[in-house]
Amino acid sequence: MKVVIVGGVAGGATAAARIRRLDEQAQIVVFERSGYVSYANCGLPYYIGGVITDPNQLTLQTPESFYQRFRVDMRVRHEVTAIHPEKKTVSVRNLATGEEFEEGYDKLLLSPGANPTQPPMSGLDDPRLFTLRTVEDTLRIRQFVVETKPKSVVLAGGGFIGLELAENLRELGLEVTIIQGIDHMLLQLDPEMAAFLHAKLREKGVRLLLGHMVEGFASTPGGIQVKLKQADPIQADMAVLAIGVTPDTALAKDAGLELGVRGSIVVNDRMETSLPHIYAVGDAVQVRHAVTGENTLISLAGPANKQGRIAADNICGGHSRYLGAQGSFVLKVFDMTVASTGLSEEAAKLAGLDCDKVYLAPANHAGYYPGGKIMMMKVLFERDTFRLLGAEIVGYEGVDKRIDVLAAAIHAHLTGPELKDLDLAYAPPYSSAKDPVNMAGFMMENLKDGLLRQFHWDEVDALPRDGSVTLLDVRTPQEYANGHIDGFQNIPLDELRERLGELPAGKPVYAHCQSGLRSYVACRILAQHGFTCYNLSGSYLLYATAKRHYSPAPTADPCGRQLP
């Protein structure tokens, strides 16, 4: 059997190695357009910033090492220019010599990836304008930074690449501006969760222009000008276009393969395309979203690697199936960690799902153990069934652990209340006896059982201030003095039982504290004294950050205690 693979990196290189492990006799040829067949895409910004100092560390395998280990014929700087399904051949151009030839196959695997999105606009040929997708792109940017020593950079796009570059270039001392077309960083996050990220970026000196569209670029004597729609242009020493990626599917289209979302390659759960003997994996393929069941694009390394393995299994006569992707990710932004899995609230509503959510702000480990830091968690669920739909976490240590647990729970089709039953590892330096994931389960169980009524940060300002409802802040007087929501009266939780007479009977109470825990306790007290009480989910911490992009010190305790 002869297998030709178009494209290396995550999907193609994984498939090549897996095929060899399954079939020692197979002839495997990989054509890679760039000069690097297997490299760490996610590490590229860190080489630009000098965190990774040796460019060789970016290369996971060379053609020589791949051949030595797997006897795979890796041909870099070779571009496949056409597919001929009727002949079972591909046309190839050697980019180093210009030679053109045809290569036959028994099975063909397409792993072309995606290209940086470049909408039609002026100035894309400016030498100070860069994109970042390949090792060659990385080396060009690093060389420019080292040799010309720019003082300022504009990043067009607030996704993964834009944020990672912002951190690395800012750490090098550059003035960094991020322009984002929507009103918040990271499309995968909801706006109120992204607000914590905005606060961190601004704290680190990154300028954010949210809700602005880039219209083009122009060369100037001092650098590059970034043109904005309905706003003044911005001058910088360099710019990076990072507004997303587009599936690289020209080959597939010309060959007559069925295309789907945004021109991606349609595949079944065996990674087979619409034409026999041709498979496809990675950023170029349409996948099923594991939560909604809808067709989508998810350009992440994890799914690409899994798809490469599955395609290889089936090429070799196996019966592996791809179950879809949740879009789980984790991202480092300075000392902050941002993570998500499944659907955002915006995506759930677009999918027509009736969803609700809980917010909580637990510490990453036991409160009595030194160094605890707060994370803000949002867990989304289907209103009637409590089926888990997604989760977002912004914080510091321990974020990655919790998002992985929640990702596994969604994959296993757990309901929200079942999170309380998970037997998770505990020791004071790592967690609390009631892990934050368990706490989210307790909250959803309380909602299901009617022990908790809640309202949300975006409903606060619409609450009447005419005395028809009681607005209650149960934090300490010092916390209240440091900042409070207009119209909320302050009765500390520990004084509430003795001051119940100050609350008008028969009127609903809307309560909040710093994170939602003390106000939940307040609501339980009030409910047993005849009041109807609603708890502000995420409480003042979320409200203040979402409304004002304010970020409190990460060592603050959400329960009002002072951490050691």
Amino acid sitting at position 137: D
Q: What pLDDT is attached to residue 515?
A: 92
Q: How many other C-beta atoms can be found within 10 angstroms of the C-beta atom of residue 500?
A: 15
Only one residue has tokens 């054509």, namely 31
Only one residue has tokens 């001392």, namely 173
Q: What pLDDT is attached to residue 384?
A: 94
pLDDT tens for each residue of the chain, 564 residues long: 999 999 988 899 999 999 999 999 999 999 999 887 766 677 788 888 888 888 777 766 788 888 899 999 999 999 999 999 999 999 999 999 999 999 999 999 999 999 888 889 999 999 999 998 888 888 899 999 999 999 999 999 989 989 999 999 999 999 999 999 989 999 999 999 999 999 999 999 999 999 999 999 999 998 999 999 999 999 999 999 998 889 999 999 999 999 999 999 999 999 999 999 999 999 999 999 999 999 999 988 899 999 999 999 999 999 999 999 999 999 999 999 999 999 999 999 999 999 999 999 999 998 889 999 999 999 999 999 999 999 999 999 999 999 999 999 999 999 999 999 999 999 999 999 999 999 999 999 999 999 999 999 999 999 999 999 999 999 999 999 999 999 999 999 999 999 999 999 999 999 999 999 999 999 999 999 999 999 999 999 999 999 876 333 344 343 443 332
CB proximity list for 536: less than 8 A, separation 6 or greater: 454, 455, 456, 457, 460, 510, 511, 512, 516, 519, 543
Q: How many other C-beta atoms can be found within 10 angstroms of the C-beta atom of residue 108?
A: 27
Q: What is the secondary structure of 116-149 as a DSSP string?
A: E---S-BTTT-TTEE--SSHHHHHHHHHHHHHH-
Q: Catalytic residues, which ones?
A: 42
* Among the listed residues 159, 151, 134, the one whose alpha carbon sits nearest the alpha carbon of residue 224: 151
Are the C-beta atoms of 472 and 491 separated by less than 8 Å?
yes
Per DSSP, the three-state class of 547 is: helix
| DSSP structural state of residue 265 | B
- State the DSSP H helix or E strand holding residue 200, giving kind and residue range, or none if neither: helix 191-203
Burial of 530 (0-12, 13-18, 19+ CB in 10 A): exposed
| DSSP structural state of residue 212 | -
Q: What pLDDT is attached to residue 37?
A: 77
Q: What pLDDT is attached to residue 557?
A: 40
**Cα–Cα dist 421/380, whole Å:** 18
Residues in the chain: 564
- State the DSSP H helix or E strand holding residue 211, giving kind and residue range, or none if neither: none
**Cα–Cα dist 88/461, whole Å:** 64
